[in-house]
Structure 1
Amino acid sequence: MVSVRAKEGIDDAEEAGIESEMKQLLCSIPGGKRKIHFLEANFVNDIWSKLPKGVASKMSRSVVSLASFNGVAKFFACTGIFIKCNACSATILTSASLVRVSGDANRIDDNLRIEVCLPNQFRVVGILNRYNLHYNVALVDIMGYWGPREIKISRHLVTSCKRVIAVGRLFTYHSIMAAKGKLLIGKRSKLDCKELCVSTCKITKAGIGGPLIDTGGNFLGMNFYHEEETPFLPRDVIHRLLLNLNKGWTRAGDTIVEGDEKRWLLAGTCWSHGNADTIAEGGVNKYSFLHLFILSSIHRLFFLKSFHLFVYFLFTHDRWPLPEPCVLPADIPEPTTLDFY
Structure 2
Amino acid sequence: FLKSWFVSWLPRGFRGNRGGAVTTPKTAHAEEEPGRGKRRRVVARETRLQQEEEGASSEPETRPRPPPATPATAEEPAATAAGAEARAQLAINIRRMLAVEAERRGRIAERIGVQAEGPILTLEDTFCDIDDGSAKSQVARKVALGVSQSIVEKRIRVCSGFVIRWNDSTSIGTILTSAALVRPPCGDDVRVEVFLPSGDISICQISMVDFHHNIALVEVTSNFKLQEAVILKYIIDKGDVLALGRSYEGGLLMCSRGEISNRASIFECSELLVSSCEITMAGTGGPLVNYNGHVVGINFFEENQTPFLSMAIVFKCLEHHQIFGRIIRPWIGFWFTSIQMVPLSHLEHIYRKFSDVDNGLYISNVAEGSPADIAGICQGDILMKCGGKFLSTAPEFGAILMDKCKETMEEYDQETNGDFSAKRITVEIVIKRENDGSTIEKTISAGLIEEFNYNR
Cα distance change, pair 258–160 in 1 and its aligned pair in 2 (3 A):
closer
Task: Identify if the C-alpha distance between structure 1 residues 222 and 283 changes in structure 2 by more than 3 Å, giving closer, same or farther.
Answer: same
Aligned to 2:161: 80
Residue in structure 1 matched with residue 148 of structure 2 by the alignment = 60
Greater relative CO (CA pairs within 8 A, separation 6+)? 1
Displacement of 1:140: 0.2
Q: For residues 124-158 of structure 1, what are the alpha-carbon distances to aligned partners after superposition, in whole Å with 9 as ceiling and x for unaligned?
A: 1110001111111000001134231112434226x
Note if contact 2:166-2:227 (Cα within 8 Å) is conserved in structure 1: yes
Q: What is the aligned partner in structure 2 of residue 39 from structure 1?
A: 123
Structure 2, unpaired ranges of 5+ = 1-119, 337-449
* Distance verdict in 2 for CA 1:240–1:258, change over 3 Å: farther
What amino acid is aligned across from residue 174 of structure 2 in structure 1? T
Secondary structure of the 2:184 match is: coil
1:133 to 2:217 alignment:
no
Identity %: 31
Other structure's SS at 1:237 match = helix
* CA–CA distance in structure 1, aligned partners of residues 332 and 209 of structure 2: 16
- In terms of Rg, which structure is larger? 2
Hey, what's the Cα distance between the residues in 2 that align with 1:48 and 1:258?
47
Give the C-alpha shift of residue 47 in structure 1. 4.1
Structure with the bigger percentage of helix: 2
Match of 1:192 among 253, 268, 274: 268
Aligned-residue RMSD, C-alpha: 2.8
2:174 to 66, 85, 91: 91
Q: Which amino acid aligns with 2:453?
A: G
Counterparts of 1:1-341 in structure 2, within 5 Å, are 38-43=122-127, 45-47=129-131, 50-52=137-139, 54-68=142-156, 76-87=157-168, 88-102=171-185, 109-156=187-234, 162-185=239-262, 187-253=263-329, 255=330, 281-285=452-456
Structure 1 spans left out of the alignment, 5+ residues: 1-35, 69-75, 103-107, 263-278, 286-341
**Given the superposition, is the C-alpha separation of residues 259 and 161 from structure 1 closer, same or farther in structure 2, using an over 3 Å criterion?**
closer
Q: Secondary structure of the residue that 2:146 maps to in structure 1?
A: helix
CA 1:139–1:213 in 2, change beyond 3 Å: closer, same or farther?
same
- 1:176 and 1:44, CA in 2 relative to 1: closer, same or farther beyond 3 A? closer
Deviation of the 1:209 alpha carbon: 0.2
Deviation, 1:188, is 2.3
CA shift for structure 1 position 112: 1.4
Q: How many residues align?
A: 218
**Native 8 Å contact 2:232 2:295 kept in 1:** no
TM-score between both structures, scaled by the size of structure 1: 0.58
1:175 deviates by: 0.3
Deviation at 1:42, TM superposition (A): 1.1
Cα gap change, 1:59/1:154 in structure 2, threshold over 3 Å: closer, same or farther?
Answer: closer
Distance across 2 between alignment mates of 1:54 and 1:163: 15
CA distance in 2 between counterparts of 1:259 and 1:124 reads 42
In structure 2, do the counterparts of structure 1 residues 258 and 215 end up closer, same or farther at CA, with 3 Å as the change threshold? farther
Name the SS of the counterpart of 1:239 in structure 2: helix
Q: Is the 8 A contact 1:89 1:142 kept in 2?
A: yes
SS in 2 for 1:247: helix
Q: Which residue of 2 aligns with 1:328?
A: none
In 2, the alpha carbon distance for the partners of 1:150 and 1:230 equals 23
SS in 1 for 2:248: coil
> Could you state the TM-score of these two structures normalised by the residue count of structure 2?
0.44
More off after superposition, 115-124 vs 55-64: 55-64
| 1:242 partner SS | helix
